């Protein structure tokens, strides 16, 4: 099993920084993925981590600690358009599909 | 990255009928998947569409209810058979590829069963 856990909802203020955490358990870790999904739209790929550490991509960064089974997505300089669900997904050795968490619904308020 | 199209984008169907959803990828991909997602809920994997062989279904999903075809490396169909209102959902096609072997998603098909 994958046991992917992330908070259900978060609220943050425009211009601020928010960190969305994800913990997972897997028998054969093969990458950690973050996706963004706006209401009524398909998920879109944001980031990928396979080694420990921080990957930065513009306003978004993603961190991974394999020993702790932990990742976070960091969103800086929040904008209203960042209001969306953020899905944590884990790749597992021997599995074709990614295993998705239930998603964190982020609301950005003025 | 692969671009995925689906049709229809939405449909309203009567109970007891069947609907076939088509998924087209703009490049050859090894893995294709079908998901279901209720509004505001998480993704649920229905099956992996295997090229040239029968699809691999997840627990709770059966071929008689959700027959899947995958005639080549760029195209797949999902049929929702003998529909009931409980089948009302968004159905998403996905393919694996890209620099990190990530999954891409089609825009989804919003199905309403009356």
pLDDT along chain A (110 residues), means of 10: 88 98 94 95 95 96 97 98 97 92 96
Average pLDDT over residues B58-65: 96
Which residues of chain B have a CB within 8 Å of the CB of A41? Answer: 107-108
Torsion of CA B40, B36, B60, B84, to 10 degrees: 90
Q: Which of residues 55-94 of B touch A (CB under 8 A)?
A: 92
Which residues of chain B have a CB within 8 Å of the CB of A102? Answer: 41-42
Tell if the CB–CB gap between A96 and B31 is shorter than 8 Å. yes
Nearest residue of B to residue A85, measured between CA atoms: B40
Tell me if chain B has a CB within 8 Å of the CB of A51.
no
Q: Determine the Cα–Cα distance for residues A106 and A18; give it in Å rounded to an integer.
A: 9
Q: For position B53, what pLDDT does the model report? A: 87
Whether the Cβ atoms of residue A20 and residue A12 lie closer than 8 Å to each other: no
Q: For position B84, what pLDDT does the model report? A: 97
Whether the Cβ atoms of residue A102 and residue A6 lie closer than 8 Å to each other: yes
Q: Determine the Cα–Cα distance for residues B98 and B112; give it in Å rounded to an integer.
A: 33
pLDDT class for B102, splitting at 50, 70, 90?
very high
Q: For position B41, what pLDDT does the model report? A: 87
How confident is the prediction for chain B on average, in pLDDT? 95
Q: For position B99, what pLDDT does the model report? A: 87
Nearest residue of A to residue B91, measured between CA atoms: A42
Q: Determine the Cα–Cα distance for residues A46 and B16; give it in Å rounded to an integer.
A: 39
Shortest alpha-carbon distance between residue A18 and chain B (Å): 21
Average pLDDT over residues B42-52: 93
Q: Quick one: tokens of A74?
A: 């960091």
Tell me if chain B has a CB within 8 Å of the CB of A98.
yes
| Per-residue pLDDT at B97 exceeds 90 | no
Q: For position B98, what pLDDT does the model report? A: 84
Q: For position B2, what pLDDT does the model report? A: 82
Tell if the CB–CB gap between B42 and A96 is shorter than 8 Å. no
**Least reliable range by pLDDT among A71-75, A89-93, B76-80, B95-99:** B95-99
pLDDT class for B79, splitting at 50, 70, 90?
very high
């Amino acid at each position: 099993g994958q046991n992917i856990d992330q908070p259900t909802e978060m609220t943050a203020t425009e211009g601020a920084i928010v960190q969305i955490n994800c913990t997972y358990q897997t028998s054969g870790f093969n990458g950690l993925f973050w996706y963004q999904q706006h209401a009524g739209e398909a998920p879109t790929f944001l980031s990928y981590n396979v080694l420990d550490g921080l990957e930065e991509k513009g306003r978004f960064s993603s961190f991974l600690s394999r020993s702790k089974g932990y990742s976070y997505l960091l969103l800086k300089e929040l904008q209203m358009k960042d209001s969306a669900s953020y899905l944590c997904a884990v790749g597992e050795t021997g599995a074709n599909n990614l295993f998705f968490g239930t998603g964190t619904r982020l609301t950005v308020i003025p | 990255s692969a671009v995925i199209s689906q049709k229809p984008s939405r449909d309203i169907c009567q109970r007891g009928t069947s609907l076939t959803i088509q998924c087209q990828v703009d490049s050859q991909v090894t893995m294709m998947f079908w998901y279901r997602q209720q509004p505001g809920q998480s993704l649920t994997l229905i099956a992996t569409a295997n090229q040239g062989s029968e699809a691999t279904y997840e627990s709770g999903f059966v071929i008689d209810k959700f027959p899947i075809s995958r005639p080549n490396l760029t195209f797949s169909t999902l049929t929702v058979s003998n529909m009931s209102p409980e089948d009302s959902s968004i159905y998403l096609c996905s393919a694996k590829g890209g620099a990190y072997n990530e999954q891409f998603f089609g825009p989804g098909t919003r199905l309403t069963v009356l």
